Amino acid sequence: MKTRMMKLIKATSIICLATVFSLSVNAQDADKAIDLDALLKQLEEGRFAQNEQNKQREAEFAAMRADQDRILRETTSRRDSLLRTSERLETQFEENEFKLADLNGALDTRLGSLKELFGVLQQVAGDTKNKFYNSVVSAEIGGRAEFLDELAQSMGSSSKLASIEEIERVWFEIQREMTESGKVKAFTTEVVEAGGAKVDKEVTRIGPFALVADGKYLEYDSVTNTVAELIRQPQARFLSSIDALESSSGDLVAFGLDPTGGSILGLLVQAPSLRERVEMGGIVGYIILIVGAIGMVLALIRLVGLTMTQMAVSKQLKSDEFKDDNPLGRVMQVRDKYPHADTESLELHLTEAILGEVPRLGRFLTIIKIISVVAPLMGLLGTVTGMIITFQMITLFGTGDPKLMAGGISTALVTTVLGLVVAIPTTLLYAFLNTRSKNIVYILQEQAAGVIAERAEKHNAKA
């Protein structure tokens, strides 16, 4: 109705505009008209044309109104039909609700104790599914977890009852898992190597605990259903047990087994190696190792030198011919060099010769002693540096994440250990080498004292 009024208003506006336009045209023509009769004739002709246009528009308006009335009648009829259909469906829905309630009651009555059985079956299927997903047996026997997952979901969502075949398969899969848990079996499958290449290999499965191939431990990914090499392998003593297992012909061998299904193995492979521990010490740790290496080399050189010197001195003690290839021979040659010197002069010459041998016997010992003292101090420096880094991390990020502080703590502890590792052996080596050096000096002093006593006896006899 509103649409028809709008159209009527538009038509009226058009008529008024046409009338104004006609009057304007007539006014222009009136200027050109010769007399009033011509002007009157023009007005009558314009009025007649306007009436014809108005009649035509009224006819169009009437036709449009009839069409709108027809559409209204059809829409009303369709609405009434849909309302009747809705009432009929509501009535049918209520009736079906009552029927469904009656059928469910009858089903519960007929099931009886079987309903509890199917509930237990659904629970067992769900629990066993999770176990099969994480079991390495699934790397050889696939599709078990998917079947149990579909069975548990169908019984839970649609209240579907399991068939005899499905119940028997659940029992069969559980029994097969128990049987395979006691077997060491080899099979061929695709293995993702540490470099990313996929290669078909013969894999040895040790029950439900481990997968090994080519002397390396493998892991089974239940999400992608793939077998891959561990990027980091455990220590060599565990890898040697794999070689013994793969080369065995059925005999009992010792094998590194993870009864937790991979948890302990994951911790073992995450443990840092010796090189990684040293790298945790940072620059200070490397400096400690370099200083320690220098101390060990000097100690080794000095140990070889003192050993050879002591052997030469021991050989010289058993010989009456004095040679200059050992400290004792060089000291004893002083007696023959001053045969007529008095006791005091000879004592001074011997003392001078002994003092000349002491620096050779104590070569590098001072440096080794300094290293043994400096190494723990450098370790303490690394400890302080690591604690400074740790406190800086705490200041910036707080104490919420311990991993942020692990770097500084590792530096502090590793440098302390490295300092002690260098200091302890160098201290022991210094004490051992210093003792051997002093023993040789004591032999020289002892032999020099004997020479002086012999010279004194000769002088007393002559007097």
Phi, psi of 379 (to 5 degrees): -60, -40
pLDDT at 30: 44
pTM of the model: 0.57
Residue with tokens 């370099």: 290
Cα–Cα nearest to 415, from 407, 427, 403, 425: 407
**Contact, 203 vs 226, CB < 8 A?**
no
Tokens of 38: 């011509």
Cα 46 → chain centroid: 96
At CA 360, angle to CA 364 and CA 314, rounded to 5? Answer: 115
Taking only the tens place, the pLDDT of each residue in 373-384 is 999 999 999 888
Would you list the domain boundaries of the chain? 2-90, 115-181, 182-271, 280-462
In the chain, the amino acid numbered 97 is E
Helix (H, G, I), strand (E, B) or coil at 232: coil
pLDDT at 18: 46
CA distance 18 to 55: 15
- What is the 3 state secondary structure string of 197-213? CEEEEEEEEECCCEEEE
Taking only the tens place, the pLDDT of each residue in 209-233 is 888 888 888 888 877 888 888 888 8
The conformation of residue 340, written as its DSSP 8-state character, comes to T
Q: How far is CA 130 from each of CA 103, 223, 262, rounded to the nearest angstrom?
A: 35, 12, 16
pLDDT at 46: 66
Walk along the chain (463 residues) in steps of 10 and give the mean pLDDT of each run. Answer: 48 48 45 60 69 79 82 89 90 89 75 69 82 84 82 70 82 88 87 86 87 87 84 81 80 80 76 78 89 94 92 85 84 83 84 88 91 92 84 75 70 88 94 93 89 81 68
For 63-103, where are the E strands, in sequence order?
Answer: none
pLDDT at 124: 84
CA distance 452 to 463: 17
CA distance 115 to 120: 9
Q: How far is CA 155 from each of CA 137, 171, 269, rounded to the nearest angstrom?
A: 26, 17, 42
DSSP 294-330: HHHHHHHHHHHHHHHHHHHHHHHHT-SS--TTSHHHH
